């Protein structure tokens, strides 16, 4: 009766059951290989050969982990945007980050509704002209935005399309609420997202798309040990309070033009995604070399003893 209760408890607990499954699998797979080797080579030599093969296979596996970290498995921290400061535009103070002081003043930027008014063929994609930002238009119509906002006038900053700004905007939501600037994410509206620095992209290095240039870009980018500082700025503005009419959809948020634009500044943390797989590879490869070295020394000792035995037999 007690044995049945123990078995029932083990089958119910997924932690214990998972540990037992791994132990049984390791014992069956590795144990079966060792059993075959031990019957042909002996227990000690069979164990050493099985151990060398195991560490060799683990070295190959961890090397693949190092090249492409697994989705679920040993990996370090993923790249992320690390908050630097929250800067209020027009507040009288300068930003602590020098690059942010070179960013174009939001008040001097062309209005998105004016761009849509000048290009009526775009209106179908942006029915809410008053709530459209330059980043929204940049997603599908970067050439149109460049007509009103020349890249040369941005002092090295680049306007990020809305489709590519999701990670930075999510980090800005967390930082704005956590720092107490806003109580909820519904209290403000996201405007434009900007980026500065970082490694040059393929389009920047090779605007002509030449094969030689593309190959050189890949090589130079791979061997660039230190990454340049990469900043991103997410600009938001407080919304105008609106009442929700019962039975109707919530009103579209509208930015309050009398409120200052708030810039959330981030710097790119490239993370250490491949560090842990690399350490696994170093450990497994070192154990493989150690096991192979032990096999090599055993062969040398065996050959030496065999030679001594043959010499002794000839003398006798």
- From the number of C-beta atoms within 10 Å of its C-beta (0-12, 13-18, 19+), residue 97 rates as buried
pLDDT digits (tens, 9 = 90+) for 148-167: 888 788 888 999 988 888 89
pLDDT digits (tens, 9 = 90+) for 264-288: 999 999 888 889 999 999 999 999 9
pLDDT the model gives residue 280:
94
What are 87-126's pLDDT values in tens digits? 888 766 788 888 888 888 888 888 888 888 888 888 777 7
pTM: 0.74
Q: In which order are the strands placed within the sheet that holds 80-88?
A: 80-88, 261-269, 230-238, 188-197, 158-160
pLDDT over 90 percentage in the chain = 24
Task: Return the domain boundaries, the chain.
Answer: 2-75+275-315, 80-269
242-271 in b/e burial notation, b at 16+ Cβ within 10 A? Answer: eeeeeeeeeeebebeeeeebbbbbbbbeee
Average pLDDT value for residue range 210-227: 80
| pLDDT score of 209 more than 80 | no
Contact 116, 129 (CB under 8 A): yes
């Amino acid at each position: 009766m007690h044995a049945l209760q123990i078995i029932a408890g083990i089958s119910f607990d997924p932690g214990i059951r998972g540990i037992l499954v791994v132990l049984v699998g390791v014992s069956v797979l590795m144990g079966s290989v060792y059993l075959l080797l031990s019957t042909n080579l002996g227990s000690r030599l069979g164990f050493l050969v099985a151990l060398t093969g195991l560490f060799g296979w683990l070295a190959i596996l961890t090397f693949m982990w190092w090249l492409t970290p697994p989705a679920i498995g040993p990996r370090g921290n993923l790249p992320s945007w690390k908050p630097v400061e929250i800067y209020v535009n027009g507040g009288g103070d300068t930003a602590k980050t020098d690059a942010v002081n070179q960013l174009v003043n939001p008040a001097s930027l062309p209005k998105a509704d004016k761009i849509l008014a000048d290009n009526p063929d775009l209106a179908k994609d942006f029915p809410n002209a008053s709530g459209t930002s330059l980043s929204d238009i940049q997603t599908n119509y970067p050439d149109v935005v460049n007509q009103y906002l020349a890249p040369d006038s941005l002092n090295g900053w680049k306007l990020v399309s809305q489709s590519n700004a999701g990670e930075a905007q999510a980090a800005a939501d967390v930082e704005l609420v956590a720092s107490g600037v806003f109580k909820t994410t519904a209290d403000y509206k996201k405007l434009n997202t900007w980026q500065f620095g970082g490694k040059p992209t393929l389009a920047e290095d090779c605007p002509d798309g030449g094969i030689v240039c593309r190959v050189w870009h890949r090589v130079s980018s791979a061997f660039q040990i230190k990454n340049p500082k990469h900043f991103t700025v997410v600009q938001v503005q407080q919304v105008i309070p609106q009442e929700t009419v019962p039975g109707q959809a919530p009103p579209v948020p509208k930015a309050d033009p009398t409120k200052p634009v708030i810039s959330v500044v981030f710097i790119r943390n490239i993370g250490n995604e491949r560090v842990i797989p690399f350490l696994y590879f170093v450990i497994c490869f070192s154990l493989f070399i150690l096991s192979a070295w032990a096999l090599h020394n055993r062969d040398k000792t065996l050959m030496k003893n065999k030679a001594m035995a043959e010499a002794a037999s000839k003398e006798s």
